[in-house]
Amino acid sequence: MIDVSTVSEVGRAAVPANVDRATYLSHLLSLRSPLTDAFSWLQAVRDRAAIRIPELAIPSTRDEEWRFTDLSSLLAIELQAITSQPAAIAQSDIESFQLPEASTRLVFVDGVYVPELSAIADLPKTVFVGDLAAATAAGLTDPMLAHLATQPGAEETFTTLNTASFTHAAVIAVPKNQTVTTPIHLLFVSTHGQGAALNHPRCLVMVESNSNVTLIEDYVATSDSAYFTNAVTEIWLAPNAQVQHTRVQRDSLAAFHIGKTAVTQARDARYTGNAISLGAAVARHHLEVYQTGEQTETTLNGLSYLKGHQVADTHSLISYTQPHGTSHQVHKCIVDDRAHAIFNGKIFVPQLAQLTDARQLSQNLLLSDKARVDTKPQLEITADNVKCAHGATVSQLENDEIFYLQSRGIDQAQAVKLLTYAFAYEVIAQIPIASLRENLLQRIA
C-alpha cells in the first residue's frame, strides 16, 4: 500500500524582525568553550564543523523540514556561555532518575561529566564506557575520529553546531563477541544554573561484530527553568551487532530540546530504538537510520505525550541501500490542550534495496478540541520487489470506550486516563527496563 499524503497549508509564524537567524546561530557557536590540550586530537573535527556555521542559519518555518516547528521563541532567549563548572548537585537530587537495573551510569550535569555521580560496574573488562577524557586516555582516539560526525546527517545545522561545540561526551565501545548484560544509563541533567544554559550533549556508541548492548539515553531536569539542549547521539553497529536503545526526553517544560539520533547498521545488525518525548516547550527529534549492509533489522517505537502549549516534532529517516532489510516503525502521539505533535517519517528504498520489508504506522490520539497533529509518511521507493506499508490514524477516545468503563462505575476522568494509558502502553511496553516503564506509565496515568 503506497498512499500519497497531503499536508494542509498552514499560516507561517512571523520571524522577529530584529533577530537574524544566521547571526543567532553564530552567536550560539561563540558561546562554546575552547578545547583543552588533552583533546587536541578533536580540534580538526571541531574546526571542520565550525567553518560551516557562517553558511548556516537557525531554520525558520519557511524551510520545508521545519514548517510546523517554529523556533522563533528560541531566538528570544538569552543563553549563557557554556560553563566547565556544573551546578553542584548531590546524589539525592538525581535519585529519582536512577534506574536500579543499570549498574553503569554516566551522569552529565549541564553538559559537564560528573564522575562523583557516575558509576561503572558489572562490565566485561574489554568493554569501554566513559566520558571523553577517559576514552582519550584509553587510546580510543582513532576509532572516535573514524566515527564522529561521519554519518550522512552530520551536515544538518544543529548537528554541525554540536560538533563544533561539544567538550564532553559519553563514549561506549564494545569489542567483538561481547554481550553486555546490564543496561547502560546515560543521564543528562539540566539544573536551574545561572540563567538559561546551552548544552551540547554528545554520545558515541561503537558496537563491534556479534556484540550486544542495551542503553538508555535520558534527558531530565531538576528545575522548571528554560534552557536549550542540542543533543547528538551516533550509534554504529558492525556486522551482526545488536543495540537496544531507549531515548527519554523529559526535559523541563520551559526547555528547548533538539536531538539527533544517527544510527548506522552494517549487515545483519539489529537496532531497536524507543524514543519517548514528554518534556520541553519545543522538542525536535531527528532519528536517522542508515543501512550499509544487507539483511538489517530496525525497530523504531516512538511516543510523544504533550500537554499545554508543547510542540514535539519527530522527523525520522530510514535509508536503505542493500537488499533484505526489514523495518518496523510505530510512532504514537497523545496530544492534549493546545499542544501540537508532528511526525514526518521518511523511508528511502532505492533500486538496490530489493526485498525490503518496511512497515510504518503513525497513530495519534487527540484529547482536546484544540490539540493538533500533523503526520506525514514519506516513502520513496524505486526498488520493484519490496513490501512497504504505512498507515496513519488520528482519533479521539471513542464514546463507546469511555462508556464501557463508566458502565463499570469508573468516572469519566478516570476512564479517559485509563484509555490514554492503554494507548501509550503499547510503546512503553517495548522498553526493556522495568523501573523506567513504571516511571513513564505513572507519568501518563
Cα 236 off chain centre by = 15
Min dist. Cβ of residue 283 to another protein (A)? 24
Residue 122 gets the label, from left (phi > 0), alpha (psi -120 to 50) or beta, of: left
Min dist. Cβ of residue 438 to another protein (A)? 12
Q: Which is nearer to another protein, 133 or 441 (CB)?
A: 441
Q: Which is nearer to another protein, 389 or 422 (CB)?
A: 422
In 3D, which of 155, 213, 206 has the Cα closest to residue 183? 213
Min dist. Cβ of residue 335 to another protein (A)? 19
Q: Which is nearer to another protein, 133 or 422 (CB)?
A: 422
What DSSP assignment string belongs to 260-297?
A: EEEEEE-TT-EEEEEEEE---SEEEEEEEEEE-SSS-E
Min dist. Cβ of residue 232 to another protein (A)? 32
Give rounded-to-5 percent helix, strand, coil for the chain: 25, 35, 40
- Please, what is the Cα angle at 166 between 271 and 81, to 5 degrees? 140
Min dist. Cβ of residue 253 to another protein (A)? 25
Cα 271 to Cα 301: distance, rounded to the nearest angstrom: 11
Contacts of 437 (CB under 8 A, 6+ apart): 428, 429, 431
In 3D, which of 281, 223, 239, 284 has the Cα closest to residue 258? 284
Min dist. Cβ of residue 401 to another protein (A)? 5
H/E element, 212? strand 212-221
Q: Which is nearer to another protein, 20 or 401 (CB)?
A: 401
* DSSP 8-state assignment for residue 11: P
Q: Which is nearer to another protein, 125 or 408 (CB)?
A: 408
Between helices 399-406 and 412-428, what is the axis angle to 10°?
Answer: 110
Q: Which is nearer to another protein, 40 or 414 (CB)?
A: 414
Q: Which is nearer to another protein, 6 or 407 (CB)?
A: 407
Q: Which is nearer to another protein, 253 or 416 (CB)?
A: 416
Cα 195 off chain centre by = 25
Min dist. Cβ of residue 410 to another protein (A)? 6
What distances in angstroms separate CA 274 from CA 35, 333, 384, 423, one per listed residue? 33, 13, 30, 15
Q: Which is nearer to another protein, 73 or 406 (CB)?
A: 406
Taking the CA atoms of residue 405, residue 407, residue 412 and residue 416 in that order, the dihedral angle to the nearest 10 degrees is 10
Q: Which is nearer to another protein, 41 or 404 (CB)?
A: 404
Contact 393, 399 (CB under 8 A): no
Binding site for another protein (CB under 8 A): 399-401, 403-404, 406-412, 414, 418-419, 421-426, 428-429, 441
Cα 217 to Cα 276: distance, rounded to the nearest angstrom: 10
Min dist. Cβ of residue 422 to another protein (A)? 5
* DSSP 8-state assignment for residue 116: G
Cα 355 to Cα 388: distance, rounded to the nearest angstrom: 10
